[in-house]
Amino acid sequence: MVKNIAVIRGDGIGPEIVEQALKVLDKVAELYGHTFHYTDVDMGGCAIDKYGDPLPASELEKCLASDSVLLGAVGGNKWNDVPGPMRPEKGLLRLRAGMGVYSNNRPAKIWHQLADASPLKKEIVEKGIDFIIVRELIGGIYFGEHKTEGDVATDVLKYSEAEIERIGRIGFETARKRSKRLCSVEKSNVLDSSRLWKKVMHRLAEEYPDVELSDMLVDNCAMQIVKNPAQFDVVVTENMFGDILSDEASMITGSIGMIPSSSLGATTCGLYEPIHGSAPDIAGMDVANPIGTILSAAMMLRFSFDMPREAQAIENAVSAYLDAGYRTADIMSEEMTQVGCSACGALIIKHLKGE
């Protein structure tokens, strides 16, 4: 099978972690008889330096012409003084909107080899951490009107029933493939947009009688994620709440460097990226953890390319790497062997097996 992948290396540690993911994909192609063509795309700070724009139209077109997009990370202190509309992060928002990827799916799963790395108590971790946050990605306060008039700033949070319904369906369909439990998270005791969210979710629930729907206020959810994460299977929520909760969820698993994500819309052309930032303080030092990016590539194979065997092979290789006692600095413990970014990628490839 031949697939075209747009590759956004980005800023900071982005180029390093993406390079390892591409090497893993090349090994998968070799083992399973596929061909992956890569097209480099400039986005973020590097695009600002090159074009004066975080995502030029020509670069977005490359993404739209691909079968899927693999992204490292964008941004950094270097571009802090760039005007708001031209910040590196605006390129990412523009990319999501341009691709029409309205559903961001972030798994929070603790690998058994990293149980001791979780900041939670042992008895909480032993109950299990394995849930997924389905976050609405191209609506809400991030995409509402933003303005400052004198000493007053305003950001508009707006959702339509159609926007809520389409992400709600993703939540229900995802729950159907897991343990059939869906928790809808909002702030309906305060926000009109959340009251509409709750109304639409309960209307949808009538179409999914096999899925158990529960409601939870976002502040309570933030507490429950650290108190009893085992209660969750699939969480569906709006853009800003999902952004915050998924970062919280990633940290209880031991390291933000381990967590992949997928962003999908109405087609199979998706955007895949680790959930961490560009970490400019360690860029170029060969110490970053590339596993989040490598697992993002595995998600791309599974959800966009219909290659479940290949995706599982990557996940098995990561597990074997961890079993062998190797760790990058972010998840290092005394009894383990510390390796750098490139060595991590090479060792995972060593454990990658075909069928």
Residue 219 annotated to the active site: yes
* Cα angle, residue 57 at apex, residues 296 and 142 outer, rounded to 5°: 60
If you compute the radius of gyration of the chain from its CA atoms, what whole number of angstroms results?
A: 20
Residue 247 annotated to the active site: yes
* Choice among 243, 321, 326, 330 that is catalytic: 243
Residue 187 annotated to the active site: yes
* Choice among 49, 155, 219, 323 that is catalytic: 219
Question: How deeply is 53 buried, as exposed, middle or buried, from its count of CB atoms within 10 A (0-12, 13-18, 19+)?
Answer: middle
Question: How deeply is 179 buried, as exposed, middle or buried, from its count of CB atoms within 10 A (0-12, 13-18, 19+)?
Answer: middle
Report which residue type is found at 258: M
Residue 330 annotated to the active site: no
* Choice among 3, 62, 90, 187 that is catalytic: 187
* Choice among 26, 53, 247, 286 that is catalytic: 247
Give the separation between CA 312 and CA 115, rounded to whole angstroms: 21
Alpha helices in the chain (DSSP H): 14-32, 45-51, 57-64, 88-99, 122-125, 161-176, 192-205, 218-227, 239-252, 291-303, 308-323, 341-350
Half-sphere exposure of 187 (CA within 13 A, CB side): 13
Whether the Cβ atoms of residue 201 and residue 211 lie closer than 8 Å to each other: no
Report which residue type is found at 146: H
* Choice among 142, 208, 272, 321 that is catalytic: 142
Q: What is the secondary structure of 324-337 as a DSSP string?
A: TTEE-GGG--TTSE
Contacts 24+ apart (CB under 8 A), 88-93: 88/11, 88/43, 88/44, 88/45, 88/47, 88/48, 88/54, 89/44, 89/54, 90/54, 90/55, 91/43, 91/44, 91/47, 91/53, 91/54, 91/55, 92/43, 92/44, 92/54, 92/55, 93/142, 93/143
Give the separation between CA 233 and CA 311, rounded to whole angstroms: 21
Give the separation between CA 5 and CA 36, rounded to whole angstroms: 7
Which of 74, 128, 69 is closest to 101 using CA atoms?
A: 69
Return the structure tokens found at 34.
Answer: 């596929």
Report, as residue numbers or ranges, the catalytic residues: 142, 187, 219, 243, 247
